[in-house]
Amino acid sequence: MAGQRTKSQHITIVDVARESGFSASTVSIVLNEAPLSRYVAATTKEQIRTTAERLGYHPDLFARSLRSRRTHTIGVMIFDISDPFCTLILRGIERALHGTGYLPLMMDAHNNREQFEGYLRMLVERRIEGLIVVANWLFQECGLLARLQERGLPIVVVGRDLSTDGFRSVVVENEMGGAMAIQHLYELGHRRIAAIRGPVQLSDSSSRWEGIQRFCSGRDITIRDVHVRTLPDLLDPFSVFEAGAALAEEIARGDSDFSALIGFDDLTALGAMRGLTQAGVRVPEECSVIGFDDIPAASYTTPGLTTIRQPMEEMGAITTEHLLKMLSNPETAAAEGTPVQKLTPALIARGSTMVLTGNTSSDTEP
Amino acid sequence: MAGQRTKSQHITIVDVARESGFSASTVSIVLNEAPLSRYVAATTKEQIRTTAERLGYHPDLFARSLRSRRTHTIGVMIFDISDPFCTLILRGIERALHGTGYLPLMMDAHNNREQFEGYLRMLVERRIEGLIVVANWLFQECGLLARLQERGLPIVVVGRDLSTDGFRSVVVENEMGGAMAIQHLYELGHRRIAAIRGPVQLSDSSSRWEGIQRFCSGRDITIRDVHVRTLPDLLDPFSVFEAGAALAEEIARGDSDFSALIGFDDLTALGAMRGLTQAGVRVPEECSVIGFDDIPAASYTTPGLTTIRQPMEEMGAITTEHLLKMLSNPETAAAEGTPVQKLTPALIARGSTMVLTGNTSSDTEP
DNA sequence: TTGTAAGCGTTATCAT
DNA sequence: ATGATAACGCTTACAA
């Protein structure tokens, strides 16, 4: 009669303790399956568990974190959440984190360095135990990340190779991807090929170009300078489409002796399809187009965009697994240095590429 | 000499207290600008602030939450983060939350009811003070949300009208949007129009259809049954494109006396562009196509997809503002009932629609 | 095998 | 105007 819970706010561990007849510490030990729980009688465990269940006890995570100095939280800094590139990566992260007991704390930096720093500080204040950075090409390291890593925060970057800056990174095998793209065109019979390269600033650009060049060397295939353009640096993701369109149109209106075009990424390639069309060149009949990434939009166009797929969900998952490994044994992870993990891309053939037909080039519209 | 911090882990409020010569409580009051700080001497405030600054003091959020019972955290349940529909909404949420002191805790339910429930529980355990649900059409209320709301958790749903289930919602003015779509076609001269309707299950479908019908009534414009199809229920987002393509092709291969097609949403419309093309109907020369949503992919196709834009970023922002209002004065919010806020859509004219030319219909390819 | 007690860093309620 | 002091709910030595 007395001792009833009047202010029945939340059920705490002492409620369970009192109700079950044991002490709070025993309850804690049992419910956490702590090492010492090996010495607790089975019957005791049973009783405690059932009363906890019956009362609907849920531990207070804030009290727990305060005491244990652990948060089971990992930060996910997204440099631009509206970049179609990253949502599948997030999927992979979410999947890999599911069931591990870690909670992702996602922040969108909005392509903005200041916000990036601000949110990073918030994450640190929330005591994240590790950090995943989902970077796009606009991402610029500002030193803050490095300082955090020095202070012992495990960090993995996905989407860009920042291993030279000292960060463990997960990216796609760009060189292989470039080679796969041109190989696909080659196998379709294309020999004279145009290209829109990525921004020079970006290492991905040169890697993919390497792959392309390597494949070309020793084969009867040419990429003439008049058929090559380069995307400007520091472009925001949305302008890439426009730039691709403009450059492709420019190429097409010049020397038209090419039958296929390689875009730096899907947005470039989709832009190129637009530009070529505007220049009166039909895709794929007169010019095949291939991209890189396999963003969702690539499959929604007509014709669908043939592309080199980055295994984004897998990249997210692998990144997460790396981080979890670093969390479980920090010393081993530190000893491993900062390697880059490069994942194998895959050719996704759609309608924008086709076998080379008789007319090797297009002059103008009929 | 003695009393130096040997284990210089984190600077706490007592460090600041000792160093500044005041008590922890005064420091707390000053640094939080609590009501009582009105009675604290200006010089004291100054001293405390500077020493806090000098020591680099940052309050421990976990201790703070434990004590104050507040978390300054709001949950954001995303039903499917890879849905292009939602990332801009997230942008809006992020923007509206920025600087408010609230931290968004985002979870992706992965189109999965179980995960939805699981993550919802996690959010509750993390003591979110409010919840935003970013719903897509697959979202099914399971009763859990309602229970949470009854227990006093402020909830706002964005992307679907769940006001009949008792949830304050923010959506687009579907009826107006439907009317705008057909009006655009009408003004371009189209009179015989095909349509792919949304799933019957979904209230958006009938709303948009209403708008279309209302515009038609009394005008010389017809949508014949042979030119109408309906998307099946319970489609996952990815299949919508395929379904749209199949249905559009089916329509085109039947009675071909139509010059424009309205898709339920952009994915449907993009699919329709594919289907029409496969049926030998050229877009937009022989058939104009219009969608709904304005997902990113709509602008990346060639021709670009004309569509009715949902102001997604704004929807996210308004949703957030609603929630913040509910948080600041719960009683007022409760009294307001559960209205739906409907935001005005906008016509985004791109290349997929054009003025009706002489040939009102297409039979087959030349 | 279980209980006691001391904190984790903060804020709130009193005193003074 | 400022300071003690007691929680908040939990974990973890250490004691029994």
* Residue whose CA is minimally distant from D12 C1': A25
Q: What is the mean pLDDT of residues A31-42?
A: 91
Say which CATH superfamily domain A174-310+347-363 falls into: Response regulator (3.40.50.2300)
Residue B4 has pLDDT above 70, yes or no: no
Q: Is the distance from CB of A207 to CB of A174 less than 8 angstroms?
A: yes
Residues in chain B whose Cβ is within 8 Å of chain A: 58, 60-63, 65-66, 71, 81-82, 84, 87-88, 90-91, 94-95, 98, 103-108, 110, 115, 122, 125-127, 241, 267, 270-271, 273-274, 277, 283, 296-297, 299-302, 304
- The tens digit of pLDDT for each residue in B309-352 reads 999 999 999 999 999 999 998 777 777 777 899 999 999 999 99
Q: Which of the four pLDDT bands, split at 50, 70 and 90, describes residue B136? A: confident
In angstroms, what is the C-alpha Rg of chain A?
27
Residue range B153-179, pLDDT digits in tens = 999 999 999 999 999 999 999 999 999
CATH superfamily, domain B13-59, is lambda repressor-like DNA-binding domains (1.10.260.40)
As a whole number, the mean pLDDT across chain B is 91
pLDDT in tens, A193-206: 999 999 998 999 99
On chain B, the residues whose CB falls within 8 A of the CB of A84 are 84, 296
> Within 7 Å: CB of A14 and strand D?
yes
| Confidence band for A332, pLDDT divided at 50, 70 and 90 | confident
Asked if A300's CB is within 8 angstroms of B270's CB, the reply is: yes
Report which residue is nearest nucleotide C7 when distances run from CA to C1'. A67
Work out the minimum CA distance from B214 to partner chain A, whole angstroms: 31
Kindly tell me if the per-residue pLDDT of A1 is higher than 90.
Answer: no
CB B204 within 8 A of CB B231: no
User: pLDDT of A127-136, one tens digit each?
Assistant: 999 999 999 8
Confidence of residue A358 (pLDDT cuts 50, 70, 90): low
The Å distance, CA of A30 to C1' of C3, is 14
* Sheet order of strands, A193-197 included: A228-230, A193-197, A260-263, A288-293, A306-309, A346-348
Report helix, strand or coil for A201.
coil
- Closest chain A CA to residue B110: A91
* CATH architecture entry for B71-171+312-343: 3-Layer(aba) Sandwich (3.40)
pLDDT tens, position by position, A66-92: 999 999 999 999 999 988 889 999 999
Q: Where in chain B is the domain with CATH 1.10.260.40?
A: 13-59
d(CA B25, C1' D6) / Å: 12
Token pair recorded at residue A104 = 């992702």
pLDDT at A2 over 50: no
Number of A–B residue contacts, CB under 8 Å? 107
Domain with CATH 3.40.50.2300 in chain B: 71-171+312-343, 174-310+347-363
- Tell me which amino acid residue A52 is: A
**Would you state the pLDDT for residue B22?**
93
Say whether pLDDT at A361 is over 50: no
Helix (H) or strand (E) holding A197: strand A193-197
Q: Which strand C nucleotides have any atom less than 7 A from protein CB atoms?
A: 1-5, 7-14
Structure tokens, B10:
């984190």
Chain A residues closer than 8 Å to B94 by CB: 81, 107-108, 110
* Contacting residues for A290 by C-beta, under 8 A, at least 6 apart: A181, A184, A185, A260, A261, A262, A263, A269, A305, A306, A307, A308, A352, A353
Q: How many Å does it take to go from CA B80 to C1' D8? A: 37
